[in-house]
Structure 1
Amino acid sequence: MGMNNKRWSMAPVLWITLIVCVLAPALLWIRRNQLLALEVFEREVYNQELSYQVTVLFLAVILIGMVYGLTGKAGLAYLNLKKRDGTIRPEPWIGITPKETETWKHLGFNLAVIITLVTAVVIYFQVIHGKSLSLDLFPGILLVLVFALINAFSEEIIFRFSFVAVVSHTGCSPYLAQGLAASVFGILHYFGTPSGLPGVLMAAFLGWILAKSMIETKGFYWALCIHFLQDAVIFFALFMKP
């Protein structure tokens, strides 16, 4: 009986892992094969991104409904944007050794600055270096911010919230949620921006640390904020034109 109960408790984790593993390559396919053909802006790159973001946002909302079905209201509590503080679990292997007075209010801000700067350096050498580029002030700058926010929200729902909410609900180790969030997000970014092995390593670390932020603050704030800053840097580079 005990073994059967354990298998039953792991069923939601297996289901959400399967769903996210199907969604991950689906996002790559959607990126290349636009399901929508929205024509709102003069530049085609803006229209393509709008079509993609609307589609993925729709999928993220559906996934929230699936998580609710697996966890109830307890899972949705991780979407709270007001919870920005919490005790930091030390992880010396990645340099997280907080002082007694240090909490997520301090770590979240520090990570936002450091990760954004590292992302900017990598994107510069992968996308911008050696090119003479410019960005439309309007609607370019506005779209950078809008798309960065939508993309950050959708990806945090799909690759972080899903695992954190379901794994926490089943009572499994938080490292399981962090490991799943890191591995799926990392592998996906082999084909993303930043790409290749640097993209995999950066995305895996980001997946791990943002899942950690959700678990330890019981909220969505730092994951969304830090991811938004990274995406703003990336979209700023991608929307530049020769």
Structure 2
Amino acid sequence: MTPLPAEGTAAGPTDGRHADIGTRDPHPWDTPAGASAAAGVAWIAVLSLSAVPAISSQELFGAIPPWLLPAQIGIVLALLTAALIVRGLRRLWRYSLIAGALILLPAAGRLFSFDLPALQSMLGSTPFDTRMQAEQTGRFAVTLGMIVVLLAIGLRPTDFFLTPGRLTAPIRPVPMLGFPKPDSWRRFGLIWGFGVASALAIAQFLVMRPELSSLPSLLPMAPSILIYAALNAFNEEMTYRAPMLATLEPAVGGRHALWLAAVYFGVAHYFGIPGGLLGATLSIFMGWLLSKAMLETRGLFWAWWIHFLSDVVIFSFIALTLIG
């Protein structure tokens, strides 16, 4: 097995380790020749279309302006126009359409009610079912819409990682995390999957301080917690990560694509659980880890698995607050 270079070191665009994804050219880790301008524009676009403007407005003025969504749609249209007419930016045309879908599909989903009491009753009609069913069903509808968009722009399911991938693929070494050699993703994924979930459980417990006597009350909700955690992990991976990686990696290289997807995913959790600056920072790391899994295994499984374990922890604490 040829060792992979560590994170931050170069991997040539023709090293043959990346499968053909939607084009005849291999997908480089470094920025492809002639793509520097596209990479810079991609960073500006992703930051502008992420939660960064909303966070800034909330912190500076105490509210998110109603014109933010139209402004971001305008940015998408400007990006698409530039990608169609500027030679150096043509490689971003697929991403521009995905960026539009990332804004419009969730907005369209909010126009419909996905509250399905019959489905809630099938899962036990617990307070957690009432809290999660409509939200997760709506997100699944958005995910299906995103898959349709990806197919419509000429990508195959394997192009956007809708496949388990190579479960034992070698990792790109990360000495700072204790992996100086190209270990198997089976080892890396298991260690970091359970490690992240355990750290998250400890942190949530210290913050919330739930009564230990309340833990048995989670048992009736356990099936719903597992089902919705699995669904949420799939929804977020196939809506917010796979489309960005599939369209940005061929355009600007794996390193830029990984960090662009990680930042976009992470800053969105400023308003989530855990939230705030710390929550966003930790979520950027999580986004980096999950993007790394998807790119290096060329599939969904390890990204979904690590995400799923963390969501089980988060959803369990949400359930505790509902019964508290």
TM exceeding 0.5: yes
Residue number among 127, 147, 153 corresponding to 2:234 in the alignment? 153
Name the CA shift for 1:128/1:161 in 2 (closer, same or farther; >3 Å): farther
2:50 maps to what in 1? none
Residue number among 88, 91, 99 corresponding to 1:17 in the alignment? 99
SS of match in other structure, 2:245: helix
Give the Cα–Cα distance (whole angstroms) in 2 for the partners of residues 153 and 177 of structure 1: 20
Deviation at 1:23, TM superposition (A): 5.9
1:220 maps to what in 2? 300
Mapping for residues 129-168 of structure 1, pairs under 5 Å: 129=210, 133-134=214-215, 135-138=217-220, 140-168=221-249
Give the Cα–Cα distance (whole angstroms) in 2 for the partners of residues 184 and 12 of structure 1: 17
SS of match in other structure, 1:98: coil
1:105 maps to what in 2? 186
Amino acid at match of 1:62: G
SS of match in other structure, 1:85: coil
SS of match in other structure, 1:73: coil
Flag the structure with larger Rg.
Answer: 2
Higher relative contact order (CA 8 A, sep 6+): 1
SS of match in other structure, 1:133: helix
Q: Deviations over 1:47-73 (max 9, x none)?
A: 231011111001011101112223421
Give the Cα–Cα distance (whole angstroms) in 1 for the partners of residues 160 and 143 of structure 2: 16
Whether contact under 8 Å (1:75, 1:165) holds in the other structure is no
Give the Cα–Cα distance (whole angstroms) in 2 for the partners of residues 181 and 171 of structure 1: 13
Q: Give me the TM-score of the superposition, normalised by structure 1.
A: 0.84
Alignment pair present for 1:197 and 2:277: yes
Give the Cα–Cα distance (whole angstroms) in 1 for the partners of residues 264 and 113 of structure 2: 23
Name the CA shift for 1:162/1:88 in 2 (closer, same or farther; >3 Å): same
Q: Deviations over 1:69-103 (max 9, x none)?
A: 234216546111152122322344x5364325x12
Deviation at 1:44, TM superposition (A): 4.2
Name the CA shift for 1:137/1:61 in 2 (closer, same or farther; >3 Å): same
2:162 maps to what in 1? 79
Residue number among 206, 212, 219 corresponding to 1:125 in the alignment? 206
SS of match in other structure, 2:252: coil
Alignment pair present for 1:207 and 2:207: no
Give the Cα–Cα distance (whole angstroms) in 2 for the partners of residues 151 and 191 of structure 1: 17
What runs of 5+ residues in structure 2 fail to find an aligned partner? 1-33, 35-84
Amino acid at match of 1:106: R
Alignment pair present for 1:49 and 2:132: yes
Amino acid at match of 2:309: L
Name the CA shift for 1:82/1:91 in 2 (closer, same or farther; >3 Å): closer
1:184 maps to what in 2? 264
Amino acid at match of 2:207: Q
Q: Deviations over 1:204-233 (max 9, x none)?
A: 111111011110111111001010000011
Deviation at 1:151, TM superposition (A): 0.4
Alignment pair present for 1:36 and 2:114: yes
Amino acid at match of 1:200: A
Give the Cα–Cα distance (whole angstroms) in 2 for the partners of residues 128 and 18 of structure 1: 41
Q: Identity, % of aligned pairs?
A: 26
- CA RMSD of superposed structures (Å): 2.7
SS of match in other structure, 2:270: coil
2:317 maps to what in 1? 237
